[in-house]
Structure 1
Amino acid sequence: MAHVNEARLVDEAARLLVEHGPAGLSLRKVAAAAGVSTMPVYTLFGDKEGLLAAMHREGFRRLGAALAAVPATAEPLADLIELGLAYRRAALSSPHLYGLMFGRTVPQFQPSGADREAADATYQPLVDAVARCQAAGVFGGGDPRRVALHLWAVSHGMVNLELNGQLPELGSAEDLYLEALGYAGLPFLAVG
């Protein structure tokens, strides 16, 4: 089965998970939703845990690809903002997977150690971008991992509010997101 078909199955599974909850997700239902026989679905995923693991991996693969597509330029602060925008775009383009990646959509699902490491690797571009801002004198010193955690928390919170339809009507979602990122970065700007 081609990778494109696997991605489609993952998307169908994520949609079913959001619409029907964990109890409404089965390999048979995914096959039916995708219009394929059950055999290739069982061959690809094995069981429901295998399907959830594939969904988790695919969500982080997409996020990692979106972040990797942001080029490093001579403007580290602009690059950091672009990473934030790429994070938001990735979440909005795969909202059904985002809940599994960062939420407790399926409380009993536990990603494997290798899957957690792959997920954690998508955080490193943010840490690297913060370190570049520090090296360029845009941000003050300190542990770039702590600064990155603060920025990610704001970004993640804004994305969650947007995905859940909970943003107040104070402007466009993208404008509110950019404003929040700006406010989040203020404490770290180098003084002088």
Structure 2
Amino acid sequence: MAPVNLELTVRLVDAAARILVEDGPGGLSLRKVAAAAGVSTMPVYTLFGDKQGLLDAMHREGFRRLGLALAAVPRTDDALADLVALGFAYREAALASPHLYGLMFTGGFGHTEAADATYRPLVTAVARCQSEGVFTGTDPEPVALHLWALAHGMVSLELSGKVDGAAFAEQLGYAGLPFLAR
């Protein structure tokens, strides 16, 4: 088996995502993706096999990018600031790849390790806030779910043009208030 060309894969995934957004699921074809990326259909079929393989790759790539953005958030001495930084990194990743963001959270892909891996840093950050006495409670899961739902909703609203980045920042600030120990 030939080594996977990550640059070509990313280029094809981005082309496919743009087509999906512009033309909808019915307008997405491997032939169109190849043409949009300026390659023959052979590498598209070699890399993805079929349309479902391409959609799966798009899904994984979206979460790969999100994971990289979250992993880039440095850990400081301020647990709450680090948690907030994760929220902003989530938003930036979504805004950087809006064409993939919507696909990441649609049905048809099941529960994936890639998705779970991008949720774990949030749970860990909430647990740190709890263990350091910033947040009340000892179970980080419900708090993390609350924060993720808010961030996801606000990003989705921003991507659809309903709110702006200032609204995201304001709501992110309010999201943690019910859990503050101070």
In the superposition, the TM-score normalised over structure 1's length comes to 0.90
2:102 corresponds to 1:99: yes
CA contact (8 A) 2:154 2:168 kept: yes
Cα drift, residue 174 of structure 1: 2.2
How many residues were matched structurally?
179
Cα drift, residue 112 of structure 1: 5.6
Cα drift, residue 103 of structure 1: 2.9
2:81 corresponds to 1:90: no
**Distance in 2 between the 1:10 and 1:36 partners?**
13
**Distance in 2 between the 1:153 and 1:57 partners?**
20
**Distance in 1 between the 2:86 and 2:177 partners?**
17
- Structure 2, unpaired ranges of 5+: none
CA contact (8 A) 2:127 2:138 kept: no
Cα drift, residue 120 of structure 1: 1.1
1:90-134 deviation digits (Å, cap 9, x = unpaired): 000000101110135xxxxx2266xx1221111000000001111
- Structure 1, unpaired ranges of 5+: 105-109, 168-172
**Distance in 2 between the 1:154 and 1:190 partners?**
20
Equivalent position of 1:159 in the other structure: 155
Aligned partner of 2:15: which letter? E
**Distance in 2 between the 1:162 and 1:112 partners?**
26
Equivalent position of 2:143 in the other structure: 147
Equivalent position of 2:42 in the other structure: 39
Find the residue that maps to 2:169 and give its secondary structure.
helix
Equivalent position of 2:84 in the other structure: 81
Cα drift, residue 152 of structure 1: 0.6
1:134-186 deviation digits (Å, cap 9, x = unpaired): 1111111141010000001110010000001112xxxxx22211110111100
- RMSD of the alignment, in Å? 1.2
2:9 corresponds to 1:6: yes
Aligned partner of 2:7: which letter? V
1:53-101 deviation digits (Å, cap 9, x = unpaired): 0000000000001001111111010000100000000000000101110
Percent identity over the alignment is 71
**Distance in 1 between the 2:165 and 2:153 partners?**
13
Aligned partner of 1:180: which letter? Q
**Distance in 1 between the 2:5 and 2:30 partners?**
18
Equivalent position of 2:172 in the other structure: 181
2:117 corresponds to 1:121: yes
Aligned partner of 1:146: which letter? P
Equivalent position of 1:111 in the other structure: 109
**Distance in 2 between the 1:149 and 1:3 partners?**
32
Find the residue that maps to 2:44 and give its secondary structure.
helix
In the superposition, the TM-score normalised over structure 2's length comes to 0.95
Query: In the superposition, relative to structure 1, how do residues 112 and 188 fare at CA in structure 2: closer, same or farther (>3 Å)?
Result: closer
Aligned partner of 1:138: which letter? V
